[in-house]
Structure 1
Amino acid sequence: MKARVTGVATYLPDRRLGSDEVERRIEGYVPHAGIVERLTGVRWRHVAGDDQQASDLAVEAIRKLDPAQLDGVDLLIFASASQDMVEPATAHIVAAKLGLSCPVFDVKNACNSVLNGMQVAEALIRTGVHRKVLVCTGEVPSRAIRWRIRDRAQFVDAFAGFTLSDAGAAVVMTADPDRGVFYRDFAADSTAWAIGTLPGGGTAHPRDPEYGYFRGDGRRLKEAFELVGPDIFRNALKRTGLTWDDFAVVAVHQVALPYLRHLARLLDIPEDRLVVTLPEHGNCASATLPLQLALGGWSPGDRVALLGLGGGISLGVMLAEM
């Protein structure tokens, strides 16, 4: 038995914030005009309403699915970097808002959360534990952006936050005897965990508001990704005997356009297989890959590739026949 993606939906909040507005909103340090878009390619990002929580964005995405796709769901996984609160699992809150009574739990692994949620769902379906799993996410990173900047060093430290975007997504995976996920591989270099962090809210910094903002070093993160990969992606082709031309969509997690172009050149991914979402939607964290699936031009029976990059750091690849 295989696990096939039978439904994909996303929710993008109506409010959008342009990169020029982001730069004007920064207090204290004055960045060079246009630096955010010039370095990252991000023009716009989505911002959730003040009354919207991570669970709300997931629920909005789920409600965009065909109701028939939810019939028989026997497990809900909330897979996100964001969460409504430390306890309980946000999956419970999502299920309560939808009126679902199936088992639920959370999966968290930065921007790879949805890909890892799909990994867990596929394993549970292949082993016969579940038959239809709803993997969802609600990302609200806008709540963790540092707007008061002391100096250039702090601006660099907070820079990754200025590219982040709020979004919700839902993926339904169903048992299928004929087609579905046919390859998956994951890797990590956990010694690099400190390169990008949101330190507050855990036992290390439970109540200090100074730790409630994203911190990161984009250059070191790029170097760490290149040290672990890109062999994990090349091996997916070698082991399956496929080329990128055999896929209708090659979805790649996107943090900055220069790095996306660099990775695409490194892996020889044809430009017409990419779904470039970053300029208009920003870095949607774990909702990025589902967003590309939702916008990509594929049909039932086509192959798709999901290439994940996440803080921590972790990499993942999943190949599937839709």
Structure 2
Amino acid sequence: MTASSTALPPSSRILGTGSYLPARRVTNQDLADQLARDGIETSDDWIVERTGIRARHFAADGETTSDLALPAARAALDAAGLTADEIDLIIVATSTPDMVFPSTACLLQQKLGIAGCAAFDVQAVCSGFVYALSVADAMIRTGAACKALVVGAETFSRILDFKDRTTCVLFGDGAGAVVLGASDAPGLHATELHADGRHADILCTPGTVAGGQVSGVPLLRMDGQAVFKLAVGVLEKVARSVLDKAGVPETDIDWLIPHQANIRIMQGTAKKLRLSLDKLIVTVDEHGNTSAASIPLALDVAVRDGRIQRGHKLMLEGVGGGFTWGAALLTY
């Protein structure tokens, strides 16, 4: 099923949101106790002061990325008032797929009990959801799709080095989803995507599979200071560029929903955009950094608790390994 080619829609709009967290909640103290058994010292105060994170959720043994994506997708479909067979495009943003191939999107499609529509993954790490949303929007505007399921889902706990206190405390698992549909009403106003592979080494998981064996290091590596310096600068710049494209002043932003990496980066970006911290959606304290899942997770939380209302203008933005970054301005 594809959209009609005779009347292309002027916009795409979010029709529904959903999210899911695995059952296992891991506090900072839980991690501190685990690290202490290996002679590594950390504390709840140390983690909160540097990151704003108090807890995160980890997937159970055998629980895959597509397993997390499924309930998030179903919740978004329910919120949109649609059934899975009305979807004609599935895009999953993830850096932790179930397997080398097929894509997590194809596995999610099978679990939803549908077949035939296009399904593929987008890999831009923590910027992945903004990348996926931009691709879905473009496909809807050009008539290649009518209703898209866009999911960010991650099981980052599988690639963490639990002997590195500077990284293992940062990340969590989860999934968030939106249903995007063609609309005559204002929806996505503008998006912008960027990458700079010269900085690939500051945030990476440098492992692969070769000859049936793991080659390289299949665990996350990060230069935190380098990431911080790059992140604050590029996030402000891309947000302003998207506002300029849309012809919208920063004062019209009702909510800033950044990728939930670190409270300092998030607050720094809000201040550079001259936004009150009251307009910042924060879930990093309870979810940690769920990479591509963090923006749609935070979006769904704020929609369901009533903060985000129809007609509100939202700025979504993310930065991740690659080095990648991007932003999207939309009316919810």
TM-score computed with the length of structure 2 as normaliser = 0.88
Q: Does 1:73 align with 2:82?
A: no
Report if the CA contact (8 A) 1:200-1:206 is conserved.
Answer: no
The DSSP-based 3-state class of the residue aligned with 1:234 is: helix
- Structure 2 spans left out of the alignment, 5+ residues: 1-8
Q: Does 1:232 align with 2:238?
A: yes
Q: Distance in 1 between matches of 2:246 and 2:107?
A: 39
Q: Does 1:290 align with 2:301?
A: no
With over 3 angstroms needed to count, the CA separation of the structure-2 counterparts of 1:30 and 1:92, relative to structure 1, is same
Q: Which residue of 1 aligns with 2:23?
A: 14
With over 3 angstroms needed to count, the CA separation of the structure-2 counterparts of 1:288 and 1:216, relative to structure 1, is same
The DSSP-based 3-state class of the residue aligned with 1:3 is: strand
Instruction: Select the residue among 129, 133, 145 that pairs with 1:118.
Output: 133
Report if the CA contact (8 A) 1:188-1:228 is conserved.
Answer: no
AA of the residue aligned to 1:196:
L
Q: Distance in 2 between matches of 1:17 and 1:217?
A: 24
AA of the residue aligned to 2:72:
A
User: Displacement of 1:311 after TM fit?
Assistant: 1.4
Q: Which residue of 2 aligns with 1:159?
A: 166
Report which stretch shifted further, 192-201 or 262-271.
262-271
Report if the CA contact (8 A) 1:245-1:270 is conserved.
Answer: no
Q: Does 1:3 align with 2:17?
A: no
Report which stretch shifted further, 31-40 or 111-120.
31-40
User: Displacement of 1:237 after TM fit?
Assistant: 2.7
Report which stretch shifted further, 67-76 or 45-54.
67-76
Deviation sequence 1:121-178 (CA, Å, 0-9, x none): 000000011111111132100111212x3xxxxx3xx622321111011111101122
Q: Which residue of 1 aligns with 2:223?
A: 217
Q: Does 1:251 align with 2:264?
A: no
Q: Which residue of 1 aligns with 2:285?
A: 279
Q: Does 1:187 align with 2:198?
A: no
The DSSP-based 3-state class of the residue aligned with 1:16 is: strand
AA of the residue aligned to 2:276:
P
Q: Which residue of 1 aligns with 2:105?
A: 91
User: Displacement of 1:37 after TM fit?
Assistant: 2.3
Deviation sequence 1:211-237 (CA, Å, 0-9, x none): 121110110111223454532212233
Report if the CA contact (8 A) 1:43-1:280 is conserved.
Answer: yes
Q: Distance in 2 between matches of 1:25 and 1:246?
A: 45
Report which stretch shifted further, 263-272 or 54-63.
263-272
User: Displacement of 1:207 after TM fit?
Assistant: 2.8
With over 3 angstroms needed to count, the CA separation of the structure-2 counterparts of 1:226 and 1:250, relative to structure 1, is closer
With over 3 angstroms needed to count, the CA separation of the structure-2 counterparts of 1:202 and 1:306, relative to structure 1, is farther
The DSSP-based 3-state class of the residue aligned with 2:239 is: helix
Q: Does 1:36 align with 2:50?
A: no
Q: Distance in 2 between matches of 1:195 and 1:93?
A: 31
User: Displacement of 1:36 after TM fit?
Assistant: 2.1
- Structure 1 spans left out of the alignment, 5+ residues: 150-154
TM-score computed with the length of structure 1 as normaliser = 0.91
Instruction: Select the residue among 153, 159, 172 that pairs with 2:179.
Output: 172
Instruction: Select the residue among 289, 308, 331 that pairs with 1:321.
Output: 331
Q: Which residue of 2 aligns with 1:152?
A: none
User: Displacement of 1:274 after TM fit?
Assistant: 0.9
Q: Does 1:199 align with 2:206?
A: yes
The DSSP-based 3-state class of the residue aligned with 1:7 is: strand
With over 3 angstroms needed to count, the CA separation of the structure-2 counterparts of 1:145 and 1:209, relative to structure 1, is farther
The DSSP-based 3-state class of the residue aligned with 1:97 is: helix
Q: Which residue of 2 aligns with 1:135?
A: 150
Q: May I ask how many residue pairs the two structures share in their alignment?
A: 313
Report if the CA contact (8 A) 1:145-1:162 is conserved.
Answer: no
User: Displacement of 1:56 after TM fit?
Assistant: 0.3
The DSSP-based 3-state class of the residue aligned with 2:126 is: coil
